[in-house]
Amino acid sequence: MDRPLAVAVLVSGRGSNMESIARAGLAGRIPARVTAVISDRPEAAGLALARSLGIEASAVPQTPGMDRAAYGRVLADATARYEPGLVVLAGFMKILDPSFTRQYAGRLLNIHPSLLPRYPGLHTHRRVLEAGDRMHGCTVHFVTEELDAGPRIVQATIRVMDGDDEQSLSARVQHWEHMIYPEAVGWFAEGRLAMRDGACWLDGQRLEQPILRGET
């Protein structure tokens, strides 16, 4: 049996998406194993969570006076020590230096809490409510140098209900994040998913639109 794909996960907070991917690997649902978790915040709860799952975890903070390029080099060196086949961003709140994204081009995934290309950046749930949108969701995409603009792999949609607030939207979107992120990692680990020529390819077919999950 082939060895599971080694995955390094970068987190800044609780690490719930990291946990969903790690547990999918441990349960054998995907041929991938989270072997390292790295955080820019030494106090991040995701580090303790990773250790409780038997995953090596470490903090790589950006020290005072360190610019983004220098931090990118330090982060890349720390990540490379684990020799990951895939790097996954799971609530990692630093904007990556272009040198990092180039080093892991085609092997770097992110999940974003909106239906990209709508609402890149922060405060997506608030912006959806302010705009009066009736649909919301989340997107797994390859990471490129442009923020939240890499090729989209899979999206999950939810209906915005009367009475929703940021907290209720966040909870329902996160439910789907925990489903589609391990799915996308599994596709990559199986050799079914790739980024080529600035586009996403699944099972040998170029995706003109992301795979859709969730509510209709």
pLDDT by residue (tens digit) across 119-177? 999 999 999 999 999 999 999 999 999 999 999 999 999 999 999 999 999 999 999 99
What band does 1 get if pLDDT is binned at 50, 70 and 90? very low
The one-letter amino acid at 144: T
Mark whether 112 is an active-site residue. Answer: yes
Q: What is the pLDDT of residue 216?
A: 77
112, 125, 136, 141: which is the annotated catalytic residue? 112
Q: For the sheet containing 199-202, what is the strand order?
A: 193-196, 199-202, 205-206
Question: Topology of 5-214 in CATH?
Answer: Rossmann fold (3.40.50)
**Boundaries of every domain in the chain:** 5-214
Q: Distance between CA 136 and CA 208 in Å, rounded?
A: 20
Which run of H or E residues covers position 131?
helix 124-131
**Average pLDDT, stretch 29-35?**
98
